[in-house]
Amino acid sequence: MKLHELKNVAGAVHRKKRVGCGEGSGHGKTSGRGGKGQTARSGSSIRPGFEGGQMPLYRKLPHRGFNNYEHRTEIAVLNVGDFAALDASVKEINATSLAASGLIRKGETIVKILGDGELTRALKVTAAKFSESAKAKIEKAGGQAIVA
């Protein structure tokens, strides 16, 4: 299959509504805009949340408290079992090597290693945090868990 051979599913493409083409078309006179008023005018739109001059709901509700969303620190989480996907030649693991292998995203620098899965080879793992079980599994396999 090539790009020029792709076709839309039947019913996926609708024809454009042609307004203002006479009364017989069903979209004449007011062209589907109703009667007179603000919404009948061209270039006019009522913003979301506008209630016709009545005090809007979002202004009635109290807006209090602190939201941490913009100030949070994102932590990339990996399991010990995920190291099995890495090359056998890799002996040292850190955030940059994990990003290069595609296990975490490129911008992520803070990594926490969790203990799910099994580790069969000795690895020198450098991360910001380790769970107790992950640390034990890495050291049992003959590797090192270094907190950076």
Tens of pLDDT, residue by residue over 31-77, are 999 999 988 999 988 999 999 999 999 999 998 999 999 999 999 99
* Of the candidates 40, 62, 58, 42, the residue with the CA atom closest to the CA atom of residue 50: 58
Reported pTM: 0.58
pLDDT cut 90: percent of the chain above it: 86
Within a domain: residue 107? yes
**pLDDT value for 105:** 94
Within a domain: residue 29? yes
Q: Please state, in angstroms and as integers, the Cα–Cα distance from residue 110 to each residue in 4, 16, 29, 87, 143, following that order.
A: 44, 51, 63, 22, 20
Helix (H, G, I), strand (E, B) or coil at 113: strand
93 and 31 within one domain: no
104 and 42 within one domain: no
Contacts of 20 by beta carbon, 8 Å cutoff, 6+ apart: 27, 28, 31
Q: What φ, ψ does residue 124 adopt, rounded to 5°? A: -100, 105
Where residue 103 sits, what CATH number does that domain have?
A: 3.100.10.10
Within a domain: residue 6? no
Within a domain: residue 56? no
| CA 50/CA 16 separation, integer angstroms | 29
Give me the number of domains the chain comprises: 2
Q: How confident is the model at residue 92 (pLDDT cuts 50, 70, 90)?
A: very high
Amino acid (one-letter) located at 130: F
| CA 135/CA 125 separation, integer angstroms | 9
Q: Which domain holds residue 77?
A: 71-147
Within a domain: residue 11? no
